[in-house]
Structure 1
Amino acid sequence: MSYWRPVVNAILYSVQFEKELDDQVVDRVAHSLVTEPLATLTPDEEYQALFEGLLTRAPLPALVQMPQKPAELREFLSRVAARMNSMRPWPTLPFLRLPEESGPLFKNATPVARISASVDYVQARISRGFYWGTEYGIFLPLKLRSGRIIGMFTPYWDNSDDIVLVTAAQDPDPNAVIDELLSVTRIDPGRVARLTADGPGESVAENGTSDSVPPTSEEEVTAYLQRVLGTQKAFDVRESEGVWVCQERPDPELERRRGQEIAERASRGLPPEPGGGYWIYGIELDRSSWDETYFGTGQIHPKPWQVRIDLVSEIGHVLMYRIQAVSRADPPREPIDHHVTIDKVTKKVDYRAAPLSRFLIDAVRQITHPHYQGEPWLTTTTFDL
C-alpha cells in the first residue's frame, strides 16, 4: 500500500500559508515527520512513501491548493525526504499508535489500571487520537518503546466514562506498564489507580506529584505549566476574576530575529510579514481539578487564525474573494474556506452560503477598510486575526 497521497496531503496542509518553502520549512517538516509520525505510520513508512512517489513521479494530490508549480512542490518534497534521510539513525519513539485493526490483540487483555479522565483529556496529554465507533467501543492501542502493547478502552464500568488501561498479554510486572506509560505522556499520576483483585487500588501519584491540586501562587502556576508542557520557558502570571492568566514571555532571540526581518522588509518597501504572538493559558481557580480545566480551556493564541484572502474574479462591478484560514489554537479548529462577493458601487457584501460570524465580518473588513482609505481593491493579502 502506498502512503504517498496521505503523507503529501499532510505536508502540504502544514505549509500552505508559508511564503517560501525554504530550508527552515524543510527542517521543520522533516523533524515533525521523524519525531511525530502521521497517524499510525512510522518514520520509515513516511520516508518510503516520499521516496517511491518521487521516484515514480506519482501524481500530486490536489486536496490542498498551493501557489507553487508542481515542479516546485516536487523539489520541496525531495528536499524533505533528503533531510529525513540525513537525520538517520532516527530516534526510537516512546510509543506508536497501532491501527484500528489491532483490536483483536486485546481479546484476552489484562486490566491493569483505571484512568479517571475523559477521552479528550487523555488525547490532549498524549497527542494521539482514540478510535471511535468500533466494535470494541472507543479505544486507543499503543506499542510502547519496550515492546509492550497496551490499550485504553471506554466505556468499561457501568455509568462511568473512566478509561481502563489494559495489556494485550499477561505482564509479570503491571506496575512497570503503568510507570512506562506515565514516563512518556503527560497523564497526571493522580488520575491513575492500579487495579487489584479487590478493585481499584491507591493512586500511583507520589506525594506532591499530582496536578489535580489547584495552585495557590504564581510560582506554582509557572512550575505546573513548565512541567506539563515540558518546557523551561518563563510565563507572566496574573490572577483575574477567578482565572489565572498565563502568558508566555517573549523569547529575546526570536524578538531579535523578528526585528531583523521587519527591518529587512522595510528596506525593500514591504510591510512586516504577519506573525508573532505568544501562547496564553487560562485556568479557572474554582475547580477542584486544575489540569482538566486547563486542558478544557486549551491554548489560545492572541490572534488564533492565519488568514489568506485572494481576489478570485471581477465581473463588472462585482468582486469575488476567497477567504481561507488555518487555526493556530491547540487543539486546532476546523480550517475555514469561504467565498464572499462585494459590489464595488453599493459596497454591499454578500456572504453567500457562509454562516455569518465575527471572524468573517473582521476578515471582510480587511478587504473593505483599505478601499475606504482611498486604496485600490486588494488582490491578495495574508494576516493574523
Structure 2
Amino acid sequence: MEHPVTAEPWRALIDAIDYSVQFDRELTEAVVERITRALLREPLLDLTEAEEYQAITEALRSGSALTEPGTQAHGEREFRDFLRRLLRGMDAARPWPEPPFRTLGEARWTGFVAPVPLLRVHMDHVRTQDRLHRVFRRVDDGGRRLILLILRLRSGDEVALVTPWWPGSDDVAVLRRDRRRRPADDAVEEFLTATGIRPDEVAVLSEDTANG
C-alpha cells in the first residue's frame, strides 16, 4: 500500500518496524527488546534515536491505520500496543548510547574538495553496506555517477565511502572531509573500530599511492 510520505512523515519508520516483525508470531518482550536494541544501535532509515522516538509517538497519536488489514502478520491493536512497549523500552534505555557513527546526507559530498582517499576497502558497496547496515546513495558528481555513503564518526570526523573510484575496480574508497583535523592513523583506527571492518580488508593509503 502506498502512503503519502509528506502527509505522514513517520510512515516509513512504522512500515520498517512492521516489516521487521512480520515473521514473529507473537510480539513478546523478547521481540520488544530486539527491536529496541536495533533502534538504538542501528537506527533505521538514517534517523537519530530522538527522531525515531518522535516518529513512533506521532504515529500512535495519529488517527491513521498503522497496519494494512488482511495483509499484515499482526492486527492494528496488537501492533499499536507493541509500539507503546517500544517507547517504554527506549525510555528505559536512557541516556541513549552514542553510536559509533551517524549517517549524513548526500549533500555533504560537496564539501569533500579534491579529496585524497584515506583507505581502500577491498569490498564492493553492496558488501560494505551489509556490514555497516547503512544504504549507499547514487549521486551525479559533475557528470560522473557515484555511489556513496557519508558518515560522521564520534570524534566529529566526516568520511565518505565512495565507488567507483579506481578504473576497473568495485573497491570502496574512504575519504576524509578535513585531512588536517588529526593524524591519519587516528582516523583509520576510529573508522575500523566504528564500522567493524577488519584491517586485513583494507589498504591504508597515502597521497603518493592513493590514485595508483
Query: TM-score normalized by structure 1?
Result: 0.48
Distance change >3 Å, CA 156–CA 10, structure 1 → 2: same
Q: Which residue of 2 aligns with 1:167?
A: 176
Q: How does 1:333-348 map to 2 (within 5 A)?
A: none
Are 2:111 and 1:105 aligned?
yes
RMSD, matched Cα: 2.4
Q: Which amino acid aligns with 2:165?
A: Y
> Residue by residue, what CA displacement relative to the aligned partner does 1:60-108 show, whole Å, maximum 9, x if unpaired?
2539922543233222211111211111111110112222333223245
Q: Which amino acid aligns with 1:178?
A: V
> Residue by residue, what CA displacement relative to the aligned partner does 1:3-23 show, whole Å, maximum 9, x if unpaired?
421111111111123222222
Q: Which amino acid aligns with 2:150?
A: P
Are 2:152 and 1:143 aligned?
yes
SS of the residue 1:151 aligns to: strand
Question: More strand per residue: 1 or 2?
Answer: 1
Q: How does 1:260-279 map to 2 (within 5 A)?
A: none
Runs (4 or more) in structure 1 with deviation over 6 Å come to none
Say whether the 8 Å CA contact 1:111–1:164 is kept in structure 2.
yes
Are 2:200 and 1:190 aligned?
yes
Among candidates 127, 130, 137, match of residue 124 of structure 1: 130
- CA distance in 2 between partners of 1:193 and 1:118 (Å): 14
For structure 2, the 5+ residue unaligned runs are 1-5
- CA distance in 2 between partners of 1:60 and 1:34 (Å): 22
Q: Which amino acid aligns with 1:183?
A: T
Among candidates 70, 77, 84, match of residue 78 of structure 1: 84
- CA distance in 1 between partners of 2:206 and 2:114 (Å): 17
- CA distance in 1 between partners of 2:114 and 2:60 (Å): 43
Q: Which amino acid aligns with 1:198?
A: D
User: Displacement of 1:150 after TM fit?
Assistant: 0.3
- CA distance in 1 between partners of 2:14 and 2:156 (Å): 29
Q: Which amino acid aligns with 2:38?
A: S
SS of the residue 2:56 aligns to: helix
Identity %: 36
Say whether the 8 Å CA contact 1:95–1:143 is kept in structure 2.
yes
User: Displacement of 1:184 after TM fit?
Assistant: 2.1
Are 2:16 and 1:5 aligned?
no
> Residue by residue, what CA displacement relative to the aligned partner does 1:131-150 show, whole Å, maximum 9, x if unpaired?
23x21401111111111110
> Residue by residue, what CA displacement relative to the aligned partner does 1:169-216 show, whole Å, maximum 9, x if unpaired?
23331221111111122323123233223215xxxxxxxxxxxxxxxx
Q: Which amino acid aligns with 2:157?
A: R
Are 2:103 and 1:93 aligned?
no
- CA distance in 1 between partners of 2:168 and 2:73 (Å): 52
Q: How does 1:180-329 map to 2 (within 5 A)?
A: 180-200=190-210
- CA distance in 2 between partners of 1:44 and 1:127 (Å): 19
SS of the residue 1:39 aligns to: helix
Say whether the 8 Å CA contact 1:5–1:61 is kept in structure 2.
no
Are 2:28 and 1:22 aligned?
yes
SS of the residue 1:161 aligns to: coil
Q: Which residue of 2 aligns with 1:381?
A: none
- CA distance in 1 between partners of 2:124 and 2:77 (Å): 46
Q: Which amino acid aligns with 1:123?
A: Q
> Residue by residue, what CA displacement relative to the aligned partner does 1:119-174 show, whole Å, maximum 9, x if unpaired?
23322332323223x21401111111111110011112223222221111233312
Distance change >3 Å, CA 126–CA 144, structure 1 → 2: same
